[in-house]
């Protein structure tokens, strides 16, 4: 029996037993068992790629093909669709706000959208009735939008107001379980306080809440219980008061026996290749200074929202820095677009290989050559033999398991797809290589192959920057460890000064 169920008694609002899920042969969830009691707030923690989104989608009816059992009010249920989940009283406010609104409809119509969609016979309420019902729904969240706002197109609302709209609509159904996925990501401090008060009211009303957030202060203030998901398994389950050191170890650190020896750096740090001065990563946070040095792998570790991706995208010109200055080999460096960074020798392996790197339907060689087509072309025609040679070289260098360079990239396993992305940015030797969460979704063999190539590149004189939420991934590859939290540097250390316990304590103390 769970800590919360023991405290509150009664049948869980929603329970999971041995729930598992795999995609393409890769296990994403493995034997997850979890009970959520009525009137409890259970916080779900996990680094990117831990399986949180998959678990949410199973409960939301998006992934019906899972193993194990889901129970609602003690009875086994099937969740074949989002509609089925909602009819059973499971409502989800997703992190991606755009997925919850319907452009082209008014604010009022979005507020009553579920009632419009489920109404039999005439599928439309009258304008007056829609407006009246919308007023009732928004009042449940304490919103005070005027009729003029309720009549306007929903896309005219700001991001935070859209999130409040989705939350108000979900609560209008009096759910059994409300899943909040990063609910304060787009809210101001005042709006977040309103949300916290609402969560307390839901607790009093007996609504179960699954609260997913990387903001540990919120969890400490709101949750009765926290559970940690890592690599698809629940690794920690605590009732209040929370042991944050243990929770972060369960979320960020591998079992001791899974670790490999720390790299050793011979001699003093090399010359400064890239230097940031007064760069502000997040609004309202202090600016930072950071140097990347030749012959050195710098590992930046931090939780979601720490500013890691903002750092990577800024250096690559995808989202240029708005403050401060950057130099590359002593000269001003201010890329306005990725092409500027590539021309300067700054390459980025992005966090999401599917959305930002791979082109489905293209071969391995075509994916690898994509940023360098200009050097492989004459009069606008790609020299296919040179492209194939580039692809073969990358395959050999990283041990990509594929039939040949002409194989479609989607035919490869996840780990080999990641090797293709890394191989792309090593096909032309960079001055600076940035790897943003490069080991997500890859097995230990692929992780070590990628790490080996990154370290070999540093040994050749390049500066390498690796960003990850996983402490042990950083400790395994980096000479130097930087802890980033809320856009600010909280630790910058080498060797024994960057041992695991100190890194985790630093992260725990900065959130």
Q: For the residues of 320-336, what is the DSSP string, one character each?
A: --SSSEEEETTEE---S
pLDDT above 60 (res 3): no
Q: What is the mean pLDDT of residues 24-42?
A: 89
Quote the CA–CA distance of 319 and 304 in Å, as a whole number: 18
Quote the CA–CA distance of 392 and 330 in Å, as a whole number: 35
pLDDT attached to residue 511: 58
pLDDT above 80 (res 236): yes
The lowest-confidence range among 270-284, 286-300, 432-446 is 432-446
pLDDT above 90 (res 211): yes
pLDDT attached to residue 156: 85
Angle at alpha carbon of residue 125, lines to 123 and 129, rounded to 5°: 165
**In sequence order, what are the beta bridge partners of 427?**
none
What are the extents of the domains in the chain?
A: 3-89+175-252, 103-172, 270-509
Model confidence band, residue 115 (pLDDT cutoffs 50, 70, 90): confident
Q: What is the mean pLDDT of residues 357-386?
A: 86
pLDDT attached to residue 121: 40
pLDDT attached to residue 253: 62
Name the residue among 214, 221, 222, 210 with its Cα closest to residue 248.
214
Q: Which CATH superfamily is domain 270-509 in?
A: P-loop containing nucleotide triphosphate hydrolases (3.40.50.300)
Query: Which own/partner contact pairs does 124-129 have at CB distance under 8 Å and 24+ positions apart?
Result: none
pLDDT attached to residue 378: 81
DSSP at 363: B
pLDDT tens by residue, 380-434: 888 889 889 998 988 888 888 888 899 888 888 777 888 888 888 888 889 999 9
Please report the sign of the dihedral spanned by the C-alpha atoms of residue 30, residue 219, residue 78, residue 170: negative
pLDDT attached to residue 171: 83
pLDDT attached to residue 7: 42
pLDDT above 80 (res 227): yes
- Fold (CATH) for 3-89+175-252: Rossmann fold (3.40.50)
Angle at alpha carbon of residue 173, lines to 167 and 179, rounded to 5°: 50
Q: What is the mean pLDDT of residues 34-41?
A: 94
Model confidence band, residue 447 (pLDDT cutoffs 50, 70, 90): confident
pLDDT above 50 (res 23): yes
Q: What is the largest CA-CA distance in the chain?
A: 78
* pLDDT > 70 fraction of the chain, expressed in percent and rounded: 89
pLDDT tens by residue, 48-69: 667 888 899 899 998 888 999 9
pLDDT attached to residue 46: 84
pLDDT tens by residue, 176-188: 999 998 887 666 6
**Phi-psi region at 467: left, alpha or beta (left = phi > 0; alpha = psi -120 to 50):** beta
Name the residue among 88, 100, 97 with its Cα closest to residue 64.
88
What is the pTM for the complete model shown?
0.64
* Secondary structure of residue 15 in the 3-state scheme: strand
The lowest-confidence range among 256-265, 328-337, 346-355 is 256-265
The answer to whether the 3-89+175-252 and 270-509 domains have the same CATH topology is yes
* pLDDT > 90 fraction of the chain, expressed in percent and rounded: 35
**Range among 72-86, 113-127, 130-144, 176-190 rated most confident:** 72-86
Quote the CA–CA distance of 293 and 327 in Å, as a whole number: 12
402-420 in b/e form (b: 16+ CB < 10 A) is beebebebeebbbbbbbbb
pLDDT attached to residue 35: 95
pLDDT attached to residue 127: 67
168 or 48, higher pLDDT: 168
pLDDT attached to residue 58: 93
Q: Which residues are CB-neighbours of 87 under 8 A, at least 6 positions away?
A: none
Quote the CA–CA distance of 367 and 469 in Å, as a whole number: 27
Quote the CA–CA distance of 377 and 369 in Å, as a whole number: 11
**Chain mean pLDDT for the chain:** 84
Quote the CA–CA distance of 505 and 490 in Å, as a whole number: 11
pLDDT attached to residue 48: 65
Q: What is the mean pLDDT of residues 89-103?
A: 81
pLDDT above 80 (res 443): no
* Secondary structure of residue 433 in the 3-state scheme: strand
pLDDT tens by residue, 466-496: 998 888 888 888 999 999 988 999 999 988 8
């Amino acid at each position: 029996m769970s800590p919360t169920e023991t405290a509150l008694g009664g049948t869980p609002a929603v329970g999971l037993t041995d729930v598992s899920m795999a995609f393409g042969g890769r296990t994403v969830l493995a034997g997850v068992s979890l009970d959520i009691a009525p009137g409890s707030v259970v916080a779900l923690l996990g680094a990117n790629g831990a399986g949180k989104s998959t678990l949410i989608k199973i409960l939301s009816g998006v992934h019906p093909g899972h193993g194990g059992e889901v129970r609602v009010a003690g009875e086994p249920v099937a969740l074949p669709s989002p509609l089925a989940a909602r009819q059973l009283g499971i409502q989800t406010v997703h992190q991606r706000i755009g997925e919850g609104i319907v452009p082209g409809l008014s604010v009022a119509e979005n507020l009553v959208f579920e009632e419009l969609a489920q109404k039999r016979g005439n599928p439309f309420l009258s304008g007056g009735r829609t407006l009246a019902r919308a007023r009732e729904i928004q009042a449940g969240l304490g919103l005070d939008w005027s009729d003029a706002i309720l009549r306007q197109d929903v896309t005219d609302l700001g991001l935070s107001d859209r999130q409040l709209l989705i939350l108000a609509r979900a609560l209008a159904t009096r759910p059994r379980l409300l899943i909040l996925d990063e609910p304060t990501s787009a809210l101001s401090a005042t709006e977040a306080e309103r949300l916290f008060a609402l969560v307390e009211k839901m607790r009093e009303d007996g609504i179960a809440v699954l609260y997913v957030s990387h903001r540990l202060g919120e969890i400490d203030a709101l949750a009765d219980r926290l559970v940690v998901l890592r690599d698809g398994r629940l690794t920690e389950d605590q009732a209040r008061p929370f042991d944050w050191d243990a929770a972060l170890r369960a979320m960020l650190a591998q079992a001791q026996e899974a670790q490999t020896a720390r790299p050793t750096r011979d001699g003093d740090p090399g010359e400064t290749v890239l230097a940031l001065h007064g760069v502000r990563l997040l609004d309202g946070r202090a600016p930072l200074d950071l140097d990347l040095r030749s012959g050195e792998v710098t590992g930046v570790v931090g939780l979601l929202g720490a500013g890691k991706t903002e750092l990577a995208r800024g250096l690559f010109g995808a989202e240029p820095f708005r403050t401060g200055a950057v130099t590359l080999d002593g000269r001003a460096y201010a890329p306005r677009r990725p092409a500027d960074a590539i021309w300067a020798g700054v390459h980025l392996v992005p966090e999401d290989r599917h959305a930002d790197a791979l082109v489905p339907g293209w071969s391995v060689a075509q994916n690898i050559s994509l940023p360098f087509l200009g050097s492989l072309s004459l009069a606008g025609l790609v020299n296919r033999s040179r492209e194939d040679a580039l692809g073969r070289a990358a395959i050999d260098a990283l041990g990509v398991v594929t039939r040949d360079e002409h194989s479609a990239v989607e035919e490869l396993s996840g780990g080999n797809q990641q090797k293709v992305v890394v191989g792309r940015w090593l096909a032309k030797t960079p001055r600076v290589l940035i790897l943003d969460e490069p080991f997500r979704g890859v097995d230990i063999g692929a992780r070590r192959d990628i790490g080996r190539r990154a370290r070999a590149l540093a040994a050749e004189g390049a500066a390498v920057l690796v960003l990850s939420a996983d402490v042990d991934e950083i400790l395994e590859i980096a000479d130097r460890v930087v802890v980033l939290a809320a856009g600010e540097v909280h630790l910058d250390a080498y060797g024994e000064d960057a041992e695991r316990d100190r890194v985790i304590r630093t992260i725990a103390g900065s959130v």
